[in-house]
Structure 1
């Protein structure tokens, strides 16, 4: 029997890599908040899953200091986008976080390479650092673009994920219909069913 592929370890699908990276602190600001980037190996696994490198690329675990830097970049992304969505706008981003994102964005990003078969793959001497550069650049771009108006917080009561609403009407409520959306529908159905039964 063939091996079943392992389920992805980290959530994706937020519509921007910086928003997917923010999700690595699950349930931000809620009871039960969980750090997904708890080891250098976890950071390498996130980069392998969500970075641009070819599937199966082995990403070496970075030094412990890089893990701390990655978490700092993530929190700076959150600070920037929080400010950008407020009346203060991107200029409201605290100076420390702004400086950190600017430094991260200045690093070399992943490089596209065209092979003899006409396919593009991505490579980097420092694959983790290059993806952090991509994340910082993406956050700076999103915070200063009209797309920011489409950034939403999931309506799920047990979810704190942000996502980019690319739906045509712009009224998407859930980070994912498969998870939070279905849970909300099931809860609404149970509530209606219980009410109808009680009458």
Structure 2
């Protein structure tokens, strides 16, 4: 199964949150529906891959729950609301797991290892989320201006005025619609 995951949200945890595409719309689509999709996401975004073992169904459910916990944690932190205990606990538990370990191989190349690659990469995602919600960069987390998108991203632009999760998709669609409206 060939999956194209969206990248470019600015943080690992935000790219992970985007695996629920079109969040908050009737067309919401799960990009991590099964073990193969989770393994593909880990291979695309993590420093280690689950080469010898496919994630189990329980790991898929845990990954989806972690994603929603991170989303809830970010939403609460951005709005100043109290974080839901279950979301905080879920993210804290995942962050407490061992992360991939670096090592230098005989050729002088950096390699990453983990006994449990899926758990280790999800620990990196959870730690990134904890770092983001406690950093000044949280003020730069934005909702995509496309009302049909539902993605969040880190605005790393100098003026801090980025509006779309991707200029190539949402921004382009918005500009085309505005152009059509002006020229009708």
Aligned residues: 184
Aligned mate of 1:19, from 14, 32, 36: 14
SS at match of 1:85: helix
SS at match of 2:142: strand
Aligned mate of 1:150, from 135, 140, 146: 140
Q: Kindly indicate whether residue 182 of structure 2 is the aligned counterpart of residue 192 of structure 1.
A: yes
**Would the aligned equivalents of 1:44 and 1:59 in 2 still touch at CA under 8 Å?**
no
TM-score under structure 1 length normalisation: 0.87
**Would the aligned equivalents of 1:26 and 1:34 in 2 still touch at CA under 8 Å?**
yes
How far apart are residue 59 of structure 1 and its match?
6.5
**Would the aligned equivalents of 1:27 and 1:160 in 2 still touch at CA under 8 Å?**
yes
CA distance in 1 between counterparts of 2:3 and 2:167 reads: 17
1:136 to 1:39, Cα distance in 2 relative to 1, 3 A: same
Q: Kindly indicate whether residue 102 of structure 2 is the aligned counterpart of residue 112 of structure 1.
A: yes
Unaligned runs of 5+ residues in structure 2 are none
CA distance in 1 between counterparts of 2:109 and 2:139 reads: 34
How big is the alpha-carbon RMSD for the aligned residues of Structure 1 and Structure 2? 1.8
SS at match of 2:103: strand
Unaligned runs of 5+ residues in structure 1 are 1-6, 195-199
- CA offsets per residue over residues 132-173 of structure 1, 9 Å max, x none? 101110111100110000000111132111000100000001
CA distance in 2 between counterparts of 1:139 and 1:160 reads: 18
Aligned mate of 1:38, from 23, 27, 33: 33
TM-score under structure 2 length normalisation: 0.94
Structure 1 segments (4+ residues) deviating >6 Å: none
Bigger radius of gyration, 1 or 2?
1
CA distance in 1 between counterparts of 2:57 and 2:178 reads: 45
